[in-house]
Structure 1
Amino acid sequence: MCAPLHAHTFRTVAMRCQTCGDATSPAYNECQRCATPLGLPAVLPGRPTYPVRGFGLAAAVAVGAATLAYLPGALFPLVGMRMARSAAARRDGDLLLGAVVAEGLFAVLYMVALLVAGVLVIIWTWRVRRNLDAFPGALPSLGPAWAIAGWLVPFANLVVPARVLANVARDSLWRRRTPPLVALWWAAWLLFLFADATVNKLDNDRYLELAETPRSRAEFTAYHDHYQRALGPRLVPALVCLVAGASFVVLIRRISAAQQDRLAKAAPAWPGWSAHPGWPTHPGWPAHPGWPAQPGWPVQPVTGVSPQVAEDPSVTSPQVPPGSGGTIGA
């Protein structure tokens, strides 16, 4: 007579995502918060990664400096009106020439600040995009080269930088959708480019109508009226410049902090570790002895006695790989 069956209690051990720390479920192939495939580390071993905290801070400071450098030129009509009144009272055309020189210096200062910010932003963009290649679960739609070319190629620079940053923001900040901050930044930036170009053209056309060497009071007054009319339109690009600059600074800081925190979770390297020829691999991912098999991964069959176990004519022992870990590039 068979012995009665005893009830067994099965306990499910909840695994935690190595990227965000949330509990994972075997019902899904990836973490529902950060999209990291189950069982994979936060950073793929063997993939080059780049620190972004320092460059992120430098780029954010440069963007903020360029934003502030634009404001003196935008608000210069306030100074121009005072100088035009003084020139009319003294009948001194040199004061009007001084106003032109001062405005030109502000424009040069802004262009230098914009150039420095542009170089740092391009380097930072390339680094944060390159790091996505080492993040399991990231799905970049454009290659790292577009992180540079996207800013420089005409017409493409109206769309590509936003696409690259949207992708980086989603995969770095664990968002299923593009964060609204990306849309706010890019919309404000495009509006600034259009408004600034339009206002500058109108100002230049009106300035060419003024007397080159004013002599009468009416000619001096015309300069005052020119600066007075220019003030209102210039406030539009100044406002959207502040919005674009502030939102981009916040975006840079958030992405940099998120990526740097993830890089800090990279597993330490094993001394002398190298992949075994028999371990399974997945397209685009390096082989690793401790990773669990995922759907679609090829399984290496057991073909003989393990080289690490003494041969026994009656016992065959499969090789047991070491625990999970890895190495990252500097």
Structure 2
Amino acid sequence: MCAPTHVRGIIMRCQTCGDATSPTADDCQSCHTPVGQPAVTPGLPTYPVRGLGLAASIAVGATTVFFLLQYLFPVYARGLIEQAAADRDADRLFAVVLAEVALSVPFSIAILTAGVLVIIWTWRARKNTDAFPGALPATGAGWAIAGWLVPFANFVVPAVVVGGIARDSVRRSAGGLVGLWWIAWLVFSVGERVVSVKNELAAAALPESPSTAADFQAWVDAYQRQIGRGVVPAVACVVAAAAFIVLVTWISTGQQERIARAVPAWPVVPGMMMYPGGPGLPPQQSVTAPSPQVAADPTVASPPVAPPPGGTIGA
């Protein structure tokens, strides 16, 4: 930990990471920011990201829950199909299919909502780094949006953008966490599509009106294979969601705290008085009372003011 610098009992802290700075070092020993460098460049806009990051994290978590419910549905459906086979009741199979389709609706809504919130959060967090002195973004702010949407670029660019945001926000590398999140996300997104195609092909080959024990067994086997196919995407989904939520929380907190530490745009010199309105600015006078520098209107108790020698103007 850095040795704190004391000025009249005040510990001097780095404006970037908030750690105490050493009186003998030119840079912060935690994040290597030059001592005295402001947290935010005066005059450049910043955007709140903590609330949006929380909303994005909740949406990502909800998407994960709905996907896991979809993955585990064949376990429940297999029991229904076995009961339908015992009763030779084909109508139950169609009820299983309808339930599976209905379960996909909240997942689709959740992943669409999460995608929109994540893109907005990424853009805001990337724009904030433009106001952070010492930031060296590898891409323009527009790639925080386009990187998710442009084909083939969306296999690389979002990880580069988020990694740069993490580095430029608190001057600390998060490459390991970003790499874990992105690899897990790619495994999930590609694996989920492959599994969906295989499940659709398998479902198309099932007998539409099962009547024999072999027909019902084909349905049981199809749902059993769905469970095995979905293991890898399900695990990757959980890992990607957990890593991304940690990243969003860490970056959002770091940016908000850094913005809160932003120094005033005007210089503060030793001996300058500090007021609520800013350094060197006295408290504003109330507009409902006369200024102490301006004499109030004479009242009946005020002595009359004698005219100057020579009379008045116009006399």
TM-score range, shorter chain: 0.7 to 0.9
| Cα shift at 1:138 | 1.1
Question: Which residue does the alignment assign to 1:210?
Answer: 206
Question: Which residue does the alignment assign to 2:245?
Answer: 249
Preserved contact between residue 129 and residue 165 of structure 2 (Cα < 8 Å)? yes
Structure-2 separation of matches of 1:269 and 1:260: 18
Structure-2 separation of matches of 1:137 and 1:24: 20
Question: Which residue does the alignment assign to 1:200?
Answer: 196
Instruction: Give the alignment's Cα RMSD to 1 decimal.
Output: 2.6
Give the alignment partner of residue 261 of structure 2, picking from 244, 260, 265: 265
Question: Which residue does the alignment assign to 2:101?
Answer: 104
Please state if 1:124 is matched with 2:121.
yes
Preserved contact between residue 37 and residue 136 of structure 1 (Cα < 8 Å)? no
| Cα shift at 1:290 | 6.8
Max Rg structure: 2
Structure-2 separation of matches of 1:179 and 1:109: 33
TM-score by structure 1 length?
Answer: 0.74
Question: Which residue does the alignment assign to 1:92?
Answer: 89
1:290-311 deviations in whole A, cap 9, x for unaligned?
Answer: 79xxxxxxxxxxxxxxxxxxxx
| Cα shift at 1:21 | 4.2
Q: Secondary structure at the match of 1:180?
A: helix
Question: Which residue does the alignment assign to 1:134?
Answer: 131
Give the alignment partner of residue 149 of structure 1, picking from 146, 151, 154: 146
| Cα shift at 1:24 | 5.5
| Cα shift at 1:31 | 3.7
Structure-2 separation of matches of 1:27 and 1:261: 23
Over 3 Å counting, the alpha-carbon distance change for 1:16 and 1:258 in structure 2 is closer
90-99 vs 47-56, which moves further:
90-99
| Corresponding pairs, count | 265
1:102-153 deviations in whole A, cap 9, x for unaligned?
Answer: 1111112111100001111111101111100111111111111111111111
Q: Secondary structure at the match of 1:134?
A: coil
Question: Which residue does the alignment assign to 2:224?
Answer: 228
Q: Secondary structure at the match of 1:261?
A: helix
TM-score by structure 2 length?
Answer: 0.77
Q: Secondary structure at the match of 1:75?
A: helix
Give the alignment partner of residue 46 of structure 2, picking from 46, 49, 70: 49
Preserved contact between residue 68 and residue 234 of structure 2 (Cα < 8 Å)? yes
Preserved contact between residue 42 and residue 264 of structure 2 (Cα < 8 Å)? no
> Can you give the 5+ residue segments of structure 2 that lack an aligned partner in the other structure?
1-6, 280-315
Give the alignment partner of residue 78 of structure 2, picking from 81, 105, 109: 81
Structure-1 separation of matches of 2:181 and 2:42: 34
Structure-2 separation of matches of 1:133 and 1:202: 45
| Cα shift at 1:173 | 3.2
Identity of aligned residues (%): 52
> Can you give the 5+ residue segments of structure 1 that lack an aligned partner in the other structure?
1-12, 271-288, 292-321, 326-330
Over 3 Å counting, the alpha-carbon distance change for 1:254 and 1:16 in structure 2 is closer
Q: Secondary structure at the match of 2:130?
A: helix
Over 3 Å counting, the alpha-carbon distance change for 1:143 and 1:25 in structure 2 is farther
1:192-251 deviations in whole A, cap 9, x for unaligned?
Answer: 112212212221222221111112221112101111122112122111111111111111
Amino acid at match of 1:264: A
Higher relative contact order (CA 8 A, sep 6+): 1
Q: Secondary structure at the match of 2:110?
A: helix
Please state if 1:219 is matched with 2:209.
no
Question: Which residue does the alignment assign to 2:59?
Answer: 62
Preserved contact between residue 13 and residue 20 of structure 2 (Cα < 8 Å)? yes
Give the alignment partner of residue 163 of structure 1, picking from 160, 164, 173: 160
1:235-293 deviations in whole A, cap 9, x for unaligned?
Answer: 221111111111111111111111111011112466xxxxxxxxxxxxxxxxxx679xx
204-213 vs 247-256, which moves further:
204-213
Give the alignment partner of residue 72 of structure 1, picking from 64, 69, 72: 69
Structure-2 separation of matches of 1:26 and 1:46: 31
